[in-house]
Amino acid sequence: MPTMTVSGHQFDLESSTVEASLQGVLPEPIHEHFVVINGRRWPPKQVLALVTGLDRADFTTHQARRALTRLGFPAGRAVSTRARHPQTSRTVGLRPCPSDDPVTPLTEALRPFIGMWVAVRDDEVLVAAPTPAEVVAWLAKHRQRAQSMFRVVDSEEAITGATPQ
């Protein structure tokens, strides 16, 4: 179990403890840096504050990101591009760095959210939650606007309307 010091306090953290601490919590909007936990992007400071109980003012984003990557969680940096896609004329949304990585198709981005309600803007999943009310509450709380909101289907039968045999 890795021991780490954050803001003068020592913590024994494991990746499984971090993952368990996030159950039932919705990630806040990503401004620049993120870590990927359970298939979702999370602001590093939100995660470290939840698992340690520290105030977010007690540590930097870089300290949080370093602590979480030491536990094996991948990290990235979202860059907002205002350019339009040359073939579709749509505005390109947030992409993980480095900029030469291919943009993840929305279908792949939705895979971790099977069976959940999602709010989407451009090709970015803003939030996913078990109920539409939770999605709307999150959008209002964080003053975000989505282009669409829907439930990600959980089976091929749900897509085609076929009855299971």
**What pLDDT score does 69 carry?**
94
**What pLDDT score does 88 carry?**
38
Strands (E) across the chain are located at 3-6, 9-12, 33-37, 40-42, 75-80, 94-96, 117-121, 124-129, 148-151
Distance CA 72, CA 128 (A): 23
Q: What is the mean pLDDT of the chain?
A: 79
Give pTM, 2 decimals. 0.65
Distance CA 67, CA 42 (A): 14
What does the domain layout of the chain look like in residue ranges?
A: 1-16+27-102, 104-165
**What pLDDT score does 79 carry?**
61
CB–CB of 99/92 below 8 Å?
no
How confident is the model over 12-21, as pLDDT tens digits? 889 999 999 9
Cα three-residue angle 28-34-35, rounded to 5 degrees: 105
Place of tokens 């298939």: 39
DSSP letter string over 35-78?
EEETTEEE-HHHHHHHHH---GGGS-HHHHHHHHHHTT--EEEE
CB–CB of 33/77 below 8 Å?
yes
**What pLDDT score does 140 carry?**
94
Looking at residue 6, its amino acid is: V
Nearest of 118, 114, 115, 105 to residue 149 by alpha carbon: 118
User: Of all residues in the chain, what percent carry a pLDDT higher than 70?
Assistant: 76
Distance CA 35, CA 15 (A): 12
How confident is the model over 58-102, as pLDDT tens digits? 999 999 999 999 999 999 987 644 333 333 333 334 344 433 444
Q: What is the mean pLDDT of residues 112-122?
A: 86
Computed on alpha carbons and rounded to an integer, the radius of gyration of the chain in Å comes to 18
**What pLDDT score does 8 carry?**
87
